[in-house]
Structure 1
Amino acid sequence: MADVLFVLDPLSSINPHADTSYVMITEALRRGHRPFYTTLDGLALRGSQAWAHARALGPASDEPLAPLVDRGEPEPRPLSSFAVVFMRKDPPVDASFIAATWILDRADTLVLNKPAGLRDLNEKLSMLEFPQLIPDTRLLRKISDLRAALDDMGGSMIVKPLLGYGGKEILRAAHGDPNLSTILEIATADETRWTVAQQFIPEASVGDKRILLVEGEPIGAVLRVPAAGELRDNFHAGGQGIATELNEREWLICSVVGPWLRERGQLFAGIDVIGPYLTEINVTSPTGMQEVNRLGGLEGDATMQAKFWDGVEARLTA
């Protein structure tokens, strides 16, 4: 039995029916651990020592999928007093998020995922380490550069904000669209922000595959299918999940990306694949556990959260 700390958004934002952090916490309880939580504003440094205003938490009742509630008043504790600290604050990766990773650098205990990776492995750009696995992808700011990229990509591409998340502000730019100039102006905020331009992949119409990895090994996957008339397939944007298995190409992608993530201390990650291409690597609060569980009818030790905790406990005993 161990005290474990989760860095979360406010409890009211955690959906018991969908949130991956929820099942991570309930699995901790099932295994006899004592979960606590804090929010970003509860983190602090006292000199070089990292602290948190930590609250015990748990389900409001014994009913299935009961919401999480506080189980006591906040208690100032050094992060070193917890066996493991989980950084599960949702994006955006903004100034507050970055500052929190600096605090977590000084936790003097196991932190998952490793804070340096949370800072450095941008979800849109870290995949550039694997040019053989990805579609044509560029980081641009000038509209003239975006127009040139559109020409190079055959007249159709996706534009999305560098620090975007949850499917927000994803747009398709195409030759012949009378709104093309407006789309590029919106994407770059009139050339004031960096924009990721990515080759449009026709297989996107049948969805993208979220693959969950623990210690670099795939543990489950879900095919996210966009709603009718919708470009985006993110669950936050109304995408629907379909049970799926990995094909040969996806196993290859995992075999290349997984060890790279493990070496950088990213115990839990979600990678996205469309057709034959790796399109994103997600290390900041990846989602998908509950969808994989539900579609696969998984229970007990077969669930995604159980496999996650197997990895955590292996680290703790190593």
Structure 2
Amino acid sequence: MTLRIAVQMDPLETINIAGDSSFALMLAAQARGYTLFHYDVRTLAYDASYGAAGRLTCWGAPVTVQRVEGAHFTRGEYRLIDLVADVDVVLMRQDPPFDLGYITATHLLERLAGQTLVANDPASVRNAPEKVFVLDFARFMPPTLIARRIEDVRAFQERQVAAGLGGDLVVKPLHGNGGKAVFRVPADGSNLGALVEMFQNAWIEPFMVQPFLPDVAEGDKRIVLVDGVVAGAINRKPGAGEFRSNLAVGGSAEATELTSTELAICAAMGPELKARGLVFVGIDVIGGKWLTEINVTSPTGIVAIDRFNGTDTCAMIWDAIAVRHAAL
């Protein structure tokens, strides 16, 4: 079956085609004979004068893609695209920040329910931000604090020292991505006050605090699940002088196997991911046992996973999407 796919993502001009998961998905869709459109989320428009269902449109263009550096896409003429009449599937892939603009887009896309499939499901994306949804699986997480007051952070740090977990902390934005603004706080707390002040000034929401896990030196695993089923994994190791292992900040990828604990984590969350319509999810695990994030907005890693494992994760994702679309 031929599908018409509208890809909601950041500008095609800015992507790194060697490792970009959205680009890989577009190539795989095109190989299946699917029609591709690209649009910027800021062009979404909802007109309530079109009856009870309204009309959701975007300003987009047909695109073709190829794995040629510097000439990786060809774009047709921009036009108004009706996300019901002209499209079968919306692939929601723009990167965070997970701000009010992002949240508003999920509200608008949710109005396509029963008409056009949106993957990942927009209501579930809105209700499952990476560092909040993970709290549903706290039994697999390291000790975690979400707060804004420095007094709460200091008390948390004291409890970690008393528990023998060391006093170093990691502080990160609640709705950040790609390893940005992730800081290590030494046990003496010498930079804690300045960091908390910066977070309080930069973000209105609380931030996340966890003990620094020395196992991160050996990397953290990005495990991808497709419709709740494990598709593959890579181990991401920090670059020289870094403790962050994200590929976007200089980490490197290597092949890996899943531990029994990691398999148990995936088995525990798989049915919930499927039930929520979260087709493409990437989770992060440190030391073979510590779950730190569940990435649902714009997960990455499938290019490296397929390169190391000889798998075809894009095919798994499009197969899952096709099944869900057929069930509309």
List per-residue Cα deviations over 1:134-171 (Å, max 9, x = no partner).
Answer: 11111110111111111112212211011111101111
TM-score (norm 1): 0.93
2:290 corresponds in structure 1 to: 277
Letter in 2 for 1:278: L
For the aligned residue pairs, the C-alpha RMSD in angstroms reads 1.8
Structure 1 window deviating more from structure 2 (302-311 vs 84-93): it is: 302-311
Q: Structure 1 residues 190 and 25 mapped into 2: Cα distance closer, same or farther (>3 Å)?
A: closer
CA distance in 1, matches of 2:139, 2:45: 42
1:21 corresponds in structure 2 to: 22
1:143–1:188: 8 Å Cα contact kept in structure 2? no
Q: Structure 1 residues 3 and 189 mapped into 2: Cα distance closer, same or farther (>3 Å)?
A: same
Q: Structure 1 residues 190 and 14 mapped into 2: Cα distance closer, same or farther (>3 Å)?
A: closer
List per-residue Cα deviations over 1:169-202 (Å, max 9, x = no partner).
Answer: 1111232253333233334339964111112222
1:197 corresponds in structure 2 to: 209
Letter in 2 for 1:57: V
Structure 1 residues without counterparts, runs of 5 or longer: none
Q: CA deviation at 1:88?
A: 0.4
Structure 1 window deviating more from structure 2 (168-177 vs 130-139): it is: 168-177
Query: Helix, strand or coil for the counterpart of 2:261?
Result: helix
CA distance in 1, matches of 2:71, 2:305: 20
Q: Confirm or deny that 1:137 pairs with 2:144.
A: yes
Identity score, percent: 38
| Aligned length in residues | 312
Letter in 2 for 1:148: A
CA distance in 1, matches of 2:192, 2:84: 53
1:207 corresponds in structure 2 to: 219
1:15–1:67: 8 Å Cα contact kept in structure 2? no
Q: 2:90 aligns with which of 75, 85, 92?
A: 85
Q: Structure 1 residues 251 and 220 mapped into 2: Cα distance closer, same or farther (>3 Å)?
A: same
2:256 corresponds in structure 1 to: 244
2:169–2:187: 8 Å Cα contact kept in structure 1? no
CA distance in 2, matches of 1:316, 1:120: 22
Show the 5 A alignment for 1:161-172. 161-172=173-184
Query: Helix, strand or coil for the counterpart of 2:185?
Result: strand
Q: CA deviation at 1:65?
A: 5.7
Q: Confirm or deny that 1:303 pairs with 2:294.
A: no
Q: CA deviation at 1:214?
A: 0.4
CA distance in 2, matches of 1:177, 1:71: 52
1:72 corresponds in structure 2 to: 76
Letter in 2 for 1:219: A
CA distance in 2, matches of 1:191, 1:78: 35
1:49 corresponds in structure 2 to: 55
Q: CA deviation at 1:305?
A: 0.9
1:31 corresponds in structure 2 to: 32
Show the 5 A alignment for 1:146-161. 146-154=153-161, 155-161=167-173
CA distance in 2, matches of 1:165, 1:254: 21
List per-residue Cα deviations over 1:280-305 (Å, max 9, x = no partner).
Answer: 00000100011112223x3xxx3221
CA distance in 2, matches of 1:206, 1:195: 25
Q: Structure 1 residues 54 and 190 mapped into 2: Cα distance closer, same or farther (>3 Å)?
A: closer
Q: CA deviation at 1:69?
A: 2.8
Query: Helix, strand or coil for the counterpart of 1:153?
Result: helix
Q: CA deviation at 1:42?
A: 2.0
Query: Helix, strand or coil for the counterpart of 2:131?
Result: coil
Q: Confirm or deny that 1:110 pairs with 2:117.
A: yes
CA distance in 2, matches of 1:209, 1:284: 18
Q: Confirm or deny that 1:95 pairs with 2:95.
A: no
1:143–1:191: 8 Å Cα contact kept in structure 2? no
CA distance in 2, matches of 1:160, 1:20: 24
Q: Structure 1 residues 162 and 124 mapped into 2: Cα distance closer, same or farther (>3 Å)?
A: same
Letter in 2 for 1:149: F
CA distance in 1, matches of 2:204, 2:177: 19
CA distance in 2, matches of 1:282, 1:45: 28
Query: Helix, strand or coil for the counterpart of 1:269?
Result: strand
1:37–1:57: 8 Å Cα contact kept in structure 2? yes
Query: Helix, strand or coil for the counterpart of 1:228?
Result: coil
Letter in 1 for 2:219: G
Q: Confirm or deny that 1:233 pairs with 2:245.
A: yes
Letter in 2 for 1:41: R
1:141–1:191: 8 Å Cα contact kept in structure 2? no
